Structure 1
């Protein structure tokens, strides 16, 4: 899945060039390229699909030329994650009605790739044998309101557990309670299921959406016309809210993956290299004085910055915008962006 615009990562992530197509940590590979590198170890390249916004199909193909162009699919309208999942399930099932599918966001960091591949192999095995909807769960380290939370029924000496409750993006108060209880995992947004199992769940919980997508023919010239017709009609809802919070056959595999969704500047700071003063600076000409715990990014390498007396701040300078705010307020960046849009011609800064 590569269709988001990463508004919490503004101003580096913009509508024209969102974060999945950027090399956020300076590894030499963009986030979507790193995701491809990881997945191709377990899925043949010809079986890897990218679903993104129509605007990003060409950019996706440019960054992932190994993937067949017909496997890079553009959504005509952003409808959250339920629609894109049933779309791809139907498209894949048309080619292989018994396929097992792994769904991964294109912009996540996974440091422990060997562990990831082992957990995915386990998930594939479970999905092929049982009517399970499987997600990978991460032990939370902070009360983050940007993640889904999974409460599971623990049984000793098992590698996977039945999910008791599934809550998407709770309030800060609820997230704090989840963290204190010790009974919850973060939902990493990585799902594994058989096409038959997930299609059955869509039929039960999102029947109108399922009916619309089932009217289309796939992998031929009629597909795009049908998709263009039905997409404006279908509900805008996440697969978490639409399916996983309601289904009774959801299982979680706890996984220590060295995972981050890199969805906020806080998560980038946590995973970035830092100097002796815990400043994460990824720009050539930056001098800091009496400053600690900051993340500083200048897109223009021909620009210098001198920062004195700043502590625990985000400083991001791009061609079109400058952001300076406390790291503790990074969840408010989405609100800043919405306010900026209200400016006359504010869209040009997006």
Structure 2
């Protein structure tokens, strides 16, 4: 899944070049490239599908030259994760009804990739034998209010899901952490194509009807037109709300493998190397004085002199400079709205 615009990483992430195509962590590779290489050790190149927005098709092919043009499924408009997953699932259903399917966002960080692949292999085996829907849960390390939570029914590595809970407030997140029964919802799923298509038919019948039509049109002259009609008519809904929270055959494999969705500048700060004053800064070009616990992102060959800041986000690009307290990064979407209102889309 590679269609998001990564607005929480503005002004670095833009509509023209969103987060999944950026090297925000300074590793030398984009998020989508890391994701491809992570799975390439267990999935042949010809078995990858990337669902993205039509305007990002060329970017996907640029970052993943190993895949073919037909492996990039282009949504005419974003409709959240359920339609995105339906598009891929019904495409696979036409190609190979017996296929197994791994669903992953294109922009996550995973540090212990061997452990992660071992867990995915367990999920594939479990789901193939039982026809269940599986998700991957992450053992929480703190009472984070930015993640959804999964409650498990027992302490086994693979457990039936009791319930899903959307992002809780801090008090409830602390209760979840102390109970030991709750795991972060990674948004990574494993199932057979037949199992997820059956789930769409049962829990999202309108999506099933629309994407069955898309499936019949794949490879014909009507494909693009049918797809556009389906997206114009289908409800925008997440796979969690639409199916996972309703289904009675959902299991979770819980694990620890150094996962983060790297969803905010704050999470980038957590995963970045820091100087002796806890600043996450570029290797070159940044001169800090009396500045602590801040994160700085600069264009190449740009010099920044910063003095007297504590716990700030400083992001400079060719046309936008943002300086914001780390504690107020939830206001970034408000900043975007105001900039867009006054200046249009050119800086968004």
TM-score (norm 1): 0.95
Q: Secondary structure at the match of 1:115?
A: helix
Q: Is the 8 A contact 1:320 1:349 kept in 2?
A: yes
**Structure 1 residues 202 and 170: CA distance shift in structure 2, 3 A:** farther
1:205 counterpart (203, 206, 224): 203
Structure 1 residue 340 and structure 2 residue 342: aligned?
no
2:127 is matched with: 127
Contact residue 321 and residue 349 of structure 1 kept, 8 A: yes
**Aligned ranges for residues 290-301 of structure 1 at < 5 Å?**
290-299=290-299, 301=300
**Offset of 1:252 from its aligned partner?**
0.8
Report the CA distance between 1:116 and its aligned residue: 0.5
Structure 1 position 241 matched with structure 2 position 236: no
SS in 2 for 1:316: strand
Q: Distance in 2 between matches of 1:171 and 1:198?
A: 31
TM-score under structure 2 normalisation?
Answer: 0.95
Question: Residues 93-108 of structure 1 correspond to what in structure 2 (within 5 A)?
Answer: 93-108=93-108
Cα distance 1:37–1:136, how it changes in 2: closer, same or farther (>3 A)? Answer: same
User: 1:247-295 deviations in whole A, cap 9, x for unaligned?
Assistant: 1111111111111111101110111111111100025211111111110
- Change over 3 Å in CA distance of 1:341–1:176 after alignment to 2: farther
Match of 1:161 in 2: 159
Structure 2 counterpart of 1:41: 41
2:328 alignment counterpart = 329
SS at match of 1:105: coil
Correspondence list, 1:80-159, <5 A: 80-155=80-155, 158-159=156-157
Contact 1:90–1:218 (CA<8 Å) still a contact in 2? no
Give the whole-Å Cα distance in 2 for the aligned partners of 1:117 and 1:87.
Answer: 25
Tell me how far 1:66 sits from its aligned partner: 0.4
Does the 8 Å contact 1:94/1:218 carry over to 2?
no
How far off is 1:330 after superposition? Answer: 2.0
Give the whole-Å Cα distance in 2 for the aligned partners of 1:268 and 1:347. Answer: 25
Give me the CA root mean square deviation.
Answer: 1.5
Q: 2:157 & 2:170 partners in 1: Cα distance?
A: 30
The answer to whether residue 301 in structure 2 is matched with residue 302 in structure 1 is yes
CA distance in 1, matches of 2:236, 2:21: 24
- Give 1:233-312 correspondences, 5 Å limit: 233-282=233-282, 284-299=284-299, 301-312=300-311
Q: Does 1:318 align with 2:317?
A: yes
Tell me how far 1:177 sits from its aligned partner: 3.9
- For residues 53 and 177 of structure 2, the distance between their equivalents in structure 1, rounded to whole angstroms, comes to 34
Aligned to 1:63: 63
1:8 paired to 2:21 = no
In structure 1, the partner of 2:212 is 214
Residues 320/173 of structure 1: CA separation in 2 closer, same or farther (3 Å cut): farther
Unaligned runs of 5+ in 1: none
| Distance in structure 2 (CA, Å) of the matches to 1:11 and 1:265 | 11
1:192 to 165, 190, 193: 190
> Aligned match of 1:182 in 180, 183, 190?
180
Does 271-280 or 144-153 show the bigger shift? Answer: 144-153
Which segment drifts farther, 92-101 or 278-287? 278-287
CA displacement, residues 49-83 of structure 1 (integer Å, 9 cap, x when unaligned): 10000010011011111011100111001100000
Aligned counterparts of 1:176 and 1:324: Cα–Cα separation in 2 = 31
In structure 2, how many angstroms separate the alpha carbons of the residues matched to 1:213 and 1:58? Answer: 24
Kindly state the Cα deviation for residue 111 of structure 1 after the two structures are TM-superposed. 0.6
SS of the aligned residue for 2:107 comes to: coil
Secondary structure in 2 matching 1:310:
coil
